[in-house]
Each structure stands twice: as structure tokens, then as C-alpha cells.
Structure 1
């Protein structure tokens, strides 16, 4: 049985327990948040001191490329610029 791939791609931002940000890409935001909170996500979010995590931003894109470009651009910002971006940009409802 072949799984159908999602046509939607997401760039997301998590706020860690230590108040740091983690940015990523996924096609299933709710599943990915669960993975991060269970310590099965990225190496950065595996540390118990960074969990629990809250998804504070979610943007939808039509292609993986666009979502990953948004993630890469966000990661290049300073902390202050990231906070400004999060305040200005409209986020989808968080799962």
C-alpha cells in the first residue's frame, strides 16, 4: 500500500522551554510537534531542558522548496528579527 503524499508543506517555529526558538519543515505539523515533545525530533529539541515545546508559528506553502526556503531565511535572522517576524506574520491555527 502506497501512502499519499500531502500537497501541503509547512514551515513551523517552536518555542522551547528555555525560551529559544526551533524552526523546521514538515507535512504533518501535529505529528511533528508530538515527535519533538517525545524527544524523537531534531537533536536540538531532544534535550529535556528544552521540552516541553509549543508550536507558536505555522505557515503553509504549496511546495517543499518554498517552505524550506522560508525556514532557511528565518534561521538567518537575529533573535530580535525573529521576534519581529513572528509578530508581523500571520500564522495558521496551531494544532
Structure 2
């Protein structure tokens, strides 16, 4: 997983707030099957403007409840390329990490 340097501290805060096990569960989910249900966590696909994809081939926004203390919104692209001739890779984009209540 690549985390932009602007969000490194916020990402590190996730484990401190929700616990290492919950953070690891999220990591495992998005790295292996971001478009599927998680057997433990609550996941909702957002509707309307909140769920709009970032662009072609990107999923809608998924709202992952890490615990009562955190929520993560993400989108994924199964075959992202940085250029037309580049190699395709699965990419997950974390849109928001929220530690407050809805």
C-alpha cells in the first residue's frame, strides 16, 4: 500500500485509534478483495454524489466501518495504468479516514 506523505500521520493514527487488529483487517480487505463483502466489517456502497467514482474504471465509493471509532471511504480500480502503454495494477484510493461519528 502506498500512502501519500500528506496522509502518513493520519493513516498511522488509524491503528492507534481503532487498534492494530482492526487496522490490519482493513488492510487485508482492501489489498485482497476491495469490491467484496467483509465477513466482519460493515461496508456500504455510497449513493449519489458521495458515491460518484473518481473517473473511468474506478468503483463507486465504499464506506468501510473499521469500528465504532472509525470509518474509511475508498474506491478501487482493478486495472489502473499511469500511461496507455503502462502495466495494469489494482489500485485502492483512500478518499477519507474519519474518526468522528456520522
TM-score normalised to the size of structure 2?
A: 0.25
Comparing both chains, which one has the higher relative contact order based on Cα–Cα distances under 8 Å and sequence gaps of 6 or more?
A: 1
Larger fraction in helix: 1
Larger fraction in strand: 2
TM-score normalised to the size of structure 1?
A: 0.27
